[in-house]
Amino acid sequence: MTKRILFHGAPAQTSVTPVTPSDAALQATGHNTGNLLIGAALQSQLEGDSQFFFALPSPEKAREEFDLIAIAASNFIFHGFDFGYLGNFIEKSGLPCVVVGLGAQARDRNMAIEVPEGTQRFLKVASERTPLIGARGTFTAEVLDRMGIRNVQVVGCPSLYPLQPPPAMVMPDRLPPPGQLVLNGSRNVVDHSFDRDTMLAVERTVFHYALKHDVDYVLQSELPEILFHRGLGEAPRSQLATVRRILDIDPALSDDAFELYLRRRGRTFFNVAEWAEFIRTKALSIGSRFHGNVMAMTNGIPAILIAHDTRTEEMAEHIGLPRFKPVPGKPFSLEGVLAEATADIFNKIYPERRREYIEFLKRNDLANKLSH
């Protein structure tokens, strides 16, 4: 019998149009467009009749109309997030559930995470209603183990596994021309990075390269930049001054020229298919945005992640995604990042990680559409 699946967590799509106000558009993605890759991946993978809910129905309605709760998770284990509402919902619904892509976020692996009581309750209820919880990486699995939750398998993120496996990755020997390079990053990641000052300098260097060479730069959650990029007249010039200060933009560059760069080369996607179509025009992706680089990898484009915290590092480590971890006090350049990058580990272990993920879905009694 076909399963009726209630999806919650990361959305798969939005109804955003070119004139949707930017704050509402970003809210529709869960405040980060990278979430769309997570939700779209899990919903595309599972066989069944599915319906996504941002706002959950009553537990009674869920019990009557669905057979399973599927949660496309992200960095849920974080001191600022309380998922008590979700634990209550799962328990009252009486339904089994599956949690995929659960992550713990901290600056480094030695840092203790203060997990809110509500989130602890959600995790314990979920562990009782599923054969296996799918964790993003070994760090998350260790955090769960300390909480007494051990029915866990490290699977990475659903977004790592498109329906058809990506081709082997071939890293270029030099940076491609500006039109074939795409960069990504975020000044928002600085505050929860391994080293704040180091990561701020890295983010500035990446953005300065994009600005100097007129390279496309993907924005995922940076609302002020997105406001100017979309050009709907939503942002006062005072916000542009704030962005300039944080990114240390050369004073010789006029506000008009800076805003024009954001309009022309800033890229924000509220549709996964449009993002994929764009990324396939490129030859290399580099930056600190995990899902910006996953979009490249899953579409056959070489990608290098600049790892900045446990969340990004453990997911990249799981599949061997090429990555670079900045070292405090050591010079940083994109040329240096590429010089140290290798796709050998990715090409060796990705097929096995994909098989493990398919087995994880089977052990959770989930029919899927993934091919080996």
Of 122, 139, 50, the C-alpha closest to 86 is 122
**368, β-bridge pairs:** 46
Confidence of residue 227 (pLDDT cuts 50, 70, 90): very high
Cα-to-chain-centroid distance, residue 169:
20
In whole angstroms, give the CA distance from residue 11 to residue 34.
10
Q: What is the pLDDT of residue 355?
A: 97
**1 pLDDT higher than 80:** no
Which of 37-41, 155-159, 177-181, 233-237 comes out lowest in average pLDDT?
Answer: 233-237
Percent of the chain with pLDDT over 90: 87
Q: What is the pLDDT of residue 189?
A: 79
Confidence of residue 238 (pLDDT cuts 50, 70, 90): confident
Q: What is the pLDDT of residues 72-97, one digit of tens each?
A: 999 899 888 899 999 999 999 999 99
Of 181, 183, 174, 273, the C-alpha closest to 219 is 183
Of 370, 372, 371, 363, the C-alpha closest to 98 is 363
**216 pLDDT higher than 70:** yes
The whole-model pTM stands at: 0.95
Q: What is the mean pLDDT of residues 47-71?
A: 96
Q: What is the mean pLDDT of residues 271-296?
A: 97
In whole angstroms, give the CA distance from residue 352 to residue 363.
16
CB-based burial of residue 261 (10 Å sphere; 0-12 exposed, 13-18 middle, 19+ buried)? buried
Distances (CA, A) of 249 to 110, 210, 253, 255: 35, 12, 7, 10
Length of the chain: 372
In whole angstroms, give the CA distance from residue 147 to residue 330.
37
Structure tokens at 163: 């329906």
Q: What is the mean pLDDT of residues 230-251?
A: 92
**230 pLDDT higher than 80:** yes
Q: What is the pLDDT of residues 256-283, one digit of tens each?
A: 999 999 999 999 999 999 999 999 999 9
**236 pLDDT higher than 70:** yes
In whole angstroms, give the CA distance from residue 43 to residue 368.
10
Of 127, 124, 155, 158, the C-alpha closest to 7 is 158
**108 pLDDT higher than 70:** no
Percent of the chain with pLDDT over 70: 98
Q: What is the pLDDT of residues 128-160, one digit of tens each?
A: 999 999 999 999 999 999 999 999 999 999 999
**188 pLDDT higher than 90:** no
Q: What is the pLDDT of residues 326-339, one digit of tens each?
A: 999 999 999 999 99
Q: What is the pLDDT of residue 106?
A: 73
Alpha helices per DSSP H over the chain: 22-28, 35-45, 59-65, 84-93, 117-128, 138-146, 196-213, 223-230, 237-247, 255-265, 272-279, 290-298, 310-319, 334-340, 344-363
Identity of the amino acid at 335: E
Confidence of residue 40 (pLDDT cuts 50, 70, 90): very high
Q: How many CB atoms lie within 10 A of CB 369?
A: 11
Q: What is the mean pLDDT of residues 166-172?
A: 97
φ/ψ of residue 69, rounded to 5: -105, 120
Confidence of residue 194 (pLDDT cuts 50, 70, 90): confident
Q: How many CB atoms lie within 10 A of CB 126?
A: 26
In whole angstroms, give the CA distance from residue 239 to residue 217.
19
**323 pLDDT higher than 90:** yes
Structure tokens at 269: 């996607």
Averaged pLDDT of the chain: 94
φ/ψ of residue 34, rounded to 5: -60, -25
323-324 sheet: strands from edge to edge: 266-267, 216-218, 181-184, 284-287, 303-306, 323-324
